[in-house]
Amino acid sequence: MTDERTESSSQDGSESVRRTRSDRLLAVLEPFRRVVVVSHVNPDPDSLASMLGIKALVEAKQAGKPVILTVDGMIARSENRAMVELIPIPLVPVEDVEIGPETALVMVDTQPRTGRRHSEAAFPQVIIDHHETGGDTEGALFRDIRVHLGATSTMVTGYLLEQGVPTSAELATALLYGIDSETTGYPREAGSLDDGALIWLFPRADKDLLAQIKNPKLPQSHFATFHMALSNAFLYDDLIVSWCGVVAQPDIVAEIADFFVRFDQVNWSLAAGVFDNMLKLSLRASQLGGSAGEILACVVRGLGGNAGGHDKRAGGAVVLPDSAPETIDQLLATIRGRLLDKLKIDEQQGRRILNGGTFIPPP
């Protein structure tokens, strides 16, 4: 197995030849007849861009080798759908792809057995990720896991630069948006390599295309969910907990958490909603050092779910035994109580942040 460090080697010991990460990655892929790239369920811009970058790398350096990009779950958020349609990014449902002995499986933006994929039946030869939530990586032929980076797209951009692969405007746009979407907010979870990649990609990206991706039209369900969450948001000291109800797509729970963490009275935001017989959770911290991924993982432990993420952002899900309102209410109460305990906030009655409102007649 190769790890993330750059190696030097020589045939006779007299001359050292630098082997980059991308050199070793390509050497691992060389014996295989085709490559299949996978990511986490409901892929986000970072995972989508990373997959597209791997495809460009392999097609440039191992010409003629088929590269199949997959989608696990759905492309949920409107911006993500716009990205897939406008770049465009060719995706095949992962369940429709056969993984045989002549296929190299490349996993990006996640790690095996972290609960972020529907199936773990096939183990990847290659793992490329930046998340702190460690998975089972033993047995991978190549793994590049750099938790100090803000985005997997930064790593893939580095591979393309190392190999001198021409970067189209569409690919540069995807990678730029992948990094930007992961490092947005303040304080930024980004390092110098992320910033360097952004600087290199920006002049090569299509700014009009990027603007289209960032500003898609939104369905009515988007506004209905925000109304639900605003009506059912409760303040516990510096934590806000919002209930989104049954949601049309799972990524909106994260959007709600991002929305509420900007409230000037809070340092923490938890949003929850039901999708596909699961309680989806998203936790946000307003400052670095929050260990949101570790905290949410502890909160859901033993509840039949999983969670993980970064310092400021985390996501998770708990399988619902049934859809009865009392079951959901009890689970929400348990999660809220555990989170209050982890944040050292006294158990208390939450204060609803919006108490009614002024209604005007329709025009």
- CA of 225: how far to CAs of 139, 187, 249, 251, 256, in Å? 43, 27, 10, 11, 9
pLDDT at 6 over 50: no
Domain spanning 220-352, CATH class: alpha beta
CA distance 97 to 70: 8
pLDDT at 38 over 90: yes
Amino acid 11: pLDDT? 44
Q: Find which of 52-61, 186-195, 340-349 is predicted with most confidence, using mean pLDDT.
A: 52-61
- Enter the tokens of residue 213: 């991706």
CA distance 15 to 34: 34
- Give the residue from 335, 308, 362 showing the smallest Cα distance to 132: 308
CA atoms within 13 A on the CB side of 255: 21
- Enter the tokens of residue 164: 């001198």
CATH 3.40.50.2300 fits 7-214, yes or no: no
Give the tens place of pLDDT for each residue, 18-30.
Answer: 789 999 999 999 9
Amino acid 85: pLDDT? 98
Domain ranges of the chain: 7-214, 220-352
pLDDT at 358 over 80: no
Residue 188, C-beta contacts closer than 8 angstroms, at least 6 positions apart: 150
Got the DSSP string for 78-141?
HHHHHHHHHTT---EEGGG----TTEEEEEESS-TTSS-SS---S--SEEEE--SS----TT-S
Q: Which residue has the higher pLDDT, 165 or 13?
A: 165
Got the DSSP string for 30-49?
TT-SEEEEE--SS--HHHHH
Give the tens place of pLDDT for each residue, 123-162.
Answer: 999 999 998 777 888 999 999 999 999 999 999 999 999 9
Give the tens place of pLDDT for each residue, 221-253.
Answer: 999 999 999 999 999 999 999 999 999 999 999
In contact, 126 and 141? CB cutoff 8 Å? yes
The percent of residues above 70 in pLDDT, for the chain, comes to 93
pLDDT at 9 over 70: no
- Enter the tokens of residue 91: 């995706």
